[in-house]
């Protein structure tokens, strides 16, 4: 009996699995801590990536505004024949860099590689920008934190699994197109511009309502927003005078909404429009407005409810 107990006592240490469990726990804790460290560093990189997206958005918008300013100084004929020059490209790239440098990602001010700035034509259907110097209307910006620009993001703890740095980037494209939606009161004037004006002639500084002689600046028309009947009386007394004295607010719009357009010159509305301009202009005699762009295959003045496709910003002066 004693011999049996002695054998059982000698065998007992070999059946004790506490040491194996402790080793397994140590291994699992090491792996868990390693992946936890990696998760923290990846989270930090994702925050930096969101910051880079803000950089790309701001830089693309700034570059497109600079490109739009180039077009503003041209006649419609010059816009149709325009080829991007090296000097104008430099203007656009400088605007991109200024906007990018004003922002940071993971604490670093961002510089954009020249090769990461593309100027060309954006295809809304395919979501592809084709670089071209012929009448470019879009700017694409890729911002980076990697080995080629601004340095990759160093990790804090992920070195334990061999991750010493993380590379991130973000891209944005801005296009010289109409503004999509407008808020109530954002549309400032009761006239619109035909989409044909932009698809065929580009941008310009002047429009006229009469006579409709087929020239680019004649692709425009009066409207009474969503009010009926769309006639000169509604235009003058309700809309223009109401916008002057604050009793009328233009409706918010989205692409596909309709506005009630008036055919003809409606010359009797011009004195009221001048009063509205005198009320809204700044100290330099300028008034920045949003103007709806209506759906049309040509410059023929529309009549009645016409769908709009967006809005554009315009600067008005007394000239």
Burial class (CB in 10 A: 0-12, 13-18, 19+), 14: exposed
34 CB neighbour count, 10 Å cutoff: 17
> Tokens representing 87?
């000097």
Buried b (16+ CB within 10 A) or exposed e, 73-86: ebebeebeebebee
The pTM (predicted TM-score) of the whole model is 0.55
| Tens place of pLDDT per residue across the chain (319 aa) | 445 444 444 445 545 555 455 555 555 555 555 555 556 666 667 788 889 999 999 999 899 989 988 887 777 678 878 999 999 999 999 999 999 999 999 889 999 999 999 999 988 778 889 999 999 999 999 999 999 999 998 776 656 556 677 888 999 998 876 666 788 998 989 989 888 887 766 555 567 776 766 677 778 889 999 999 999 999 999 999 999 999 999 999 888 899 999 876 778 888 999 999 999 888 877 787 888 999 988 888 889 999 998 877 665 444 4
């Amino acid at each position: 009996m004693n011999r049996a107990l002695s054998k059982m006592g000698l065998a007992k240490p070999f059946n004790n699995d506490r040491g194996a469990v402790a080793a397994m726990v140590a291994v699992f804790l090491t792996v868990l801590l390693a992946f936890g460290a990696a998760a923290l560093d990846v989270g930090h990189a994702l925050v930096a990536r969101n910051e880079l997206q803000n950089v790309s958005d701001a830089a693309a918008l700034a570059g497109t505004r600079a490109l739009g300013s180039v077009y503003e100084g041209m006649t419609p004929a010059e816009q149709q024949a325009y080829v991007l020059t090296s000097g104008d490209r430099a203007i656009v790239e400088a605007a991109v860099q200024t906007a990018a440098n004003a922002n940071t990602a993971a604490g670093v001010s961002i510089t954009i590689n020249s090769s990461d700035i593309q100027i060309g034509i954006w295809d809304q259907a395919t979501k592809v920008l084709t670089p071209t110097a012929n009448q470019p209307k879009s700017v694409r910006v890729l911002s980076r934190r990697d080995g080629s620009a601004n340095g990759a993001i160093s990790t804090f703890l992920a070195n334990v699994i061999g991750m010493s740095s993380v590379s991130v980037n973000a891209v944005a494209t801005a296009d010289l197109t109409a503004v999509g939606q407008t808020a109530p009161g954002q549309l400032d004037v009761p006239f619109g511009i035909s989409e044909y004006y932009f698809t065929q002639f580009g941008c310009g500084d002047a429009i006229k309502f009469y006579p409709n002689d087929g020239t680019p600046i004649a692709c425009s028309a009066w409207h009474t927003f969503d009010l009926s009947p769309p006639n000169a009386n509604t235009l003058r007394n309700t809309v223009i005078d109401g916008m002057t004295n604050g009793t009328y607010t233009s409706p918010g719009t989205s692409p596909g909404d309709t506005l009630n357009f008036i055919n003809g010159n409606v010359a009797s509305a011009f004195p009221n429009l001048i009063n509205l301009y005198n009320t809204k202009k700044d100290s330099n005699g300028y008034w920045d407005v949003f103007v709806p762009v209506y759906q049309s295959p040509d410059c023929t003045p529309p009549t009645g409810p016409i769908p709009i496709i967006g809005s554009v910003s315009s600067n008005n002066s007394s000239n």
